[in-house]
């Protein structure tokens, strides 16, 4: 494809990422997941429900982004993912996780703050966990579902994520399959099992 044939070209731009705070001050989209959005994801559903009782529905994680429009092949989407610390029963807080709708698209996560793991799996049954700490870059290859898990205990896990503009998010398959491994705290230790 020549430059003239590329559809919907956009102009170059620059955006501030505050590396100390782990924020993108100019974000225009703010996606919020509350505890009630996580029903069905944790091993101990009773422990999750006990968090949600009454008017309470605590914040679980957020995504801050400035979408690159249109979301098409050749462009890159980027965002900040911020996952709160905590546990549901013994299981550390995590994101829902997803495959990309266009399954052969990769993603890079650069951890800016906090600590935890990137849990990954393929539809074929492979599973991997990469430790995340400030400065760690995790490469999620094409076809690998991915979920972040905050094991820090007391601070948010914040990452800068970059992925192809046409990737999309497929939550349905992970909702149905789950991940083969979960991350728990047992006797003060982090256990992946
Ligand atoms: C990330 C995730 C973000 C939230 O930007 O979307 O961490 O996790 P869930 O999407 O699983 O709820 C990403 O992987 N984008 O492709
Ligand atoms: Zn993704």
Q: pLDDT of 145-178, one tens digit each?
A: 999 999 999 999 999 999 999 999 999 999 999 9
Instruction: For each of the domains in the chain, give its residue range(s) and CATH number, in order of start.
Output: 17-192 (2.60.120.10)
Q: Does 150 sit in the ligand 1 pocket, CB within 6 Å?
A: no
Nearest to 59 by CA among 25, 26, 89, 32: 32
The helices-and-strands tally (H runs, E runs) of the chain is 2, 13
Q: Does 91 sit in the ligand 1 pocket, CB within 6 Å?
A: no
Q: What is the mean pLDDT of the chain?
A: 97
Q: Does 96 sit in the ligand 1 pocket, CB within 6 Å?
A: yes
Point out which residues pair with 146 in neighbouring strands. 98, 120
Cβ atoms 158, 64 nearer than 8 A:
no
Q: Report the alpha-carbon distance of residue 117 to residue 91 in Å, rounded.
A: 13
Contacts of 27 (CB under 8 A, 6+ apart): 64, 65, 66, 79, 80
Q: Does 62 sit in the ligand 1 pocket, CB within 6 Å?
A: no
**Index of the ligand 1 atom closest to the CA of residue 174:** 11
Positions of E strands within the chain: 29-34, 59-65, 76-83, 87-88, 91-92, 107-113, 115-122, 127-133, 137-140, 144-150, 157-164, 183-186, 189-192
Taken as a whole, the chain contains a residue count of: 193
Residue 30 has pLDDT above 90, yes or no: yes
pLDDT digits (tens, 9 = 90+) for 78-117: 999 999 999 999 999 999 999 999 999 999 999 999 999 9
pLDDT digits (tens, 9 = 90+) for 57-66: 999 999 999 9
């Amino acid at each position: 494809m020549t430059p003239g044939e590329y559809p919907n070209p956009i102009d170059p731009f620059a955006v501030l990422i505050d590396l100390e705070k782990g924020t993108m001050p100019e974000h225009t989209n703010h996606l919020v997941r509350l505890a009630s959005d996580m029903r069905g994801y944790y091993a101990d559903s009773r422990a999750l429900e006990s968090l949600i009782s009454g008017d309470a529905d605590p914040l679980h994680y957020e995504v801050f982004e400035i979408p690159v429009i249109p979301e098409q092949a050749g462009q890159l989407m980027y965002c900040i993912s911020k996952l709160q610390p905590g546990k549901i029963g013994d299981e550390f807080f995590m994101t829902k996780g997803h495959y990309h709708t266009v399954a052969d698209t990769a993603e890079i996560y650069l951890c800016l703050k906090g600590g935890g793991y990137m849990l990954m799996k393929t539809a074929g049954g492979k599973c991997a966990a990469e430790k995340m700490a400030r400065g760690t870059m995790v490469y999620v290859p094409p076809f690998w579902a991915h979920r972040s898990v905050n094991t820090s205990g007391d601070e948010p896990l914040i990452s800068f994520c970059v992925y192809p503009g046409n990737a999309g998010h497929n939550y349905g398959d992970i909702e149905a399959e789950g991940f083969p491994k979960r991350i728990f705290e047992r006797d003060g230790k982090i256990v992946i099992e």
